[in-house]
Amino acid sequence: MELVLGEERRAVVAYCHRMVADGLVVGTSGNISARRGELIAVTPSGLAYEELTPDLVGVHRLDGTPVDAPLAPTTELPTHLAAYQATGGNAVVHTHSAAATAVATLVDELPSVHYLVALFGGPIRVARYATYGTDELAESVTAALAGRTGCLLGNHGTIAVGDTLAKAYAKAQYLEWLCDVWLRAKAAGEPRVLDAAEIDRVGRKLASYGASAPEVRGADATPDSR
């Protein structure tokens, strides 16, 4: 018998394994969800990624009600639900990647040291710190995602949203890279920063770049992709 949201559950497992291999999380930190209609497939709480299988990925409604969830959902379920409501996206990736988490302890907004911040709809905000798993954190993320498809979480990690799980995951990778670039540049001196007009200009170029249609408030391709 086919699992409810079987395709999404299998994709969540695959990207969780990749998230570990790519060093975007440590231990059982981080979480992933994928949406189809009014249902989401989301990682359970506290389970080692190597033990995760599609049947252990829970399915919940957008109000958090379980539909087919053998284990308790990630404690960050309220944050995932808030991200869906704020963006209308179809996938959310939450990481604890090192460079991004470090930046989230230093600034209230990631300086625009590279035009790829346009992938997220503009300068990347840092959501005000709140205890993990709380409604306060969900509210903070909602504010940081206004007009954006990604943000940093103060002293915590990252959230990336996409219209597919592949695109949300790619944005999580880009966000880590942008933070690493800024940290390296800042360690060597005072980085030059691109102004808002240039980021807007790049955003418009990305919206018509390549064969795929852009996401709302963010493009799917980059000028360097082939």
Active site residues: 76
Spatial separation of the C-alpha atoms in residues 210 and 221, rounded to whole Å: 7
Name the pairing type of β-strands 157-162 and 150-153. Answer: antiparallel
Asked whether the beta carbons of 118 and 52 are under 8 A apart, the reply is no
Reference 113, options 203, 170, 183; nearest CA is: 183
Spatial separation of the C-alpha atoms in residues 161 and 170, rounded to whole Å: 10
Instruction: Please provide the distance, in angstroms rounded to a whole number, between the alpha carbons at the two ends of the chain.
Output: 40
Asked whether the beta carbons of 219 and 209 are under 8 A apart, the reply is yes
Q: What sign for the dihedral angle of Cα 119, 121, 124, 129? A: negative
Q: What is the DSSP letter of 110?
A: E
Chain centroid to Cα 95, Å, comes to 7
Reference 157, options 165, 167, 140; nearest CA is: 140
